[in-house]
Amino acid sequence: MALKDIFNSILFEDVVSRFKINNIDLLQRFTRYMISSTGEIFSSKSIKNYLKSNNIYTSQDTLLKYNEYLKQSFLISKCKCFDLKGRKEMKILGKYYLTDHGFYHSLIEDNILKVTKILENIVYVELLRRGYKVNVGRNKDNSEVDFVCEKSGKYKYIQVSYRLTNEETLNREITPLLRIPDKYESILITSEKHDFSKEGVKHLNIIDFLCGDEL
């Protein structure tokens, strides 16, 4: 069965039938939006405005319900924000990733600008598989760390980038890691085979990460 068929089966059997959805077109548009914006901060208001620009009107409550239905059907997974200074999860904001990034490739036209986000998605799912609790990190200056991973009270910090084109790009990626106040391990995962480890930040090739047992 093709991924598109599996997706349709989940959407219609696990969402539409289970939750008795009447406006199937709205659900499909919402789901497509969530898939195309994987790895981005979720805002029901921004989705509502996007739909409104296409002459589709609905309430934020409806969109939040649809969001919850997709989570319960295991199509998407929420990655909450984590305050690195206060050492606690933030009640607001968060990113969503697909439980299978293949849904993106089967349903959305390929976009080279999304490569890093898809790579993030792959890393996120693998971290969950390895038993980590995973959050998005926020420094006090609002700089972002892609993933804060916790297991047995110990943390690892991960930044994901498809390709490091120059020294400036490398510095931009590792700077949020260097601003974290504690000294737990920081890791940069990319598609590059050359070792870009720098200033205590460990570099890992994505294939080596996926084939290994631990970080």
> What does the pLDDT read at residue 112?
63
One digit per residue, the tens of pLDDT, for the chain of length 215 reads 678 888 888 899 999 999 999 999 999 999 999 998 899 888 888 888 888 888 888 998 999 999 999 999 999 999 999 998 888 888 777 899 999 998 888 888 766 668 899 999 999 999 999 999 999 999 888 889 999 999 999 999 999 999 998 899 999 999 999 999 888 999 999 999 999 999 999 999 999 999 987 77
> Which pTM does this prediction carry?
0.91
Q: What is the pLDDT of residue 52?
A: 87
User: Which 3 state secondary structure label does DSSP give 192?
Assistant: coil
Please give the pLDDT value at position 175: 95
How far apart, in Å, are the Cα atoms of 210 and each of 116, 152, 155, 156, 170? 16, 21, 19, 16, 21
Task: Please tell me the total number of residues recorded for the chain in this structure.
Answer: 215
Contact call for residues 127 and 134 (beta carbons, < 8 A): yes
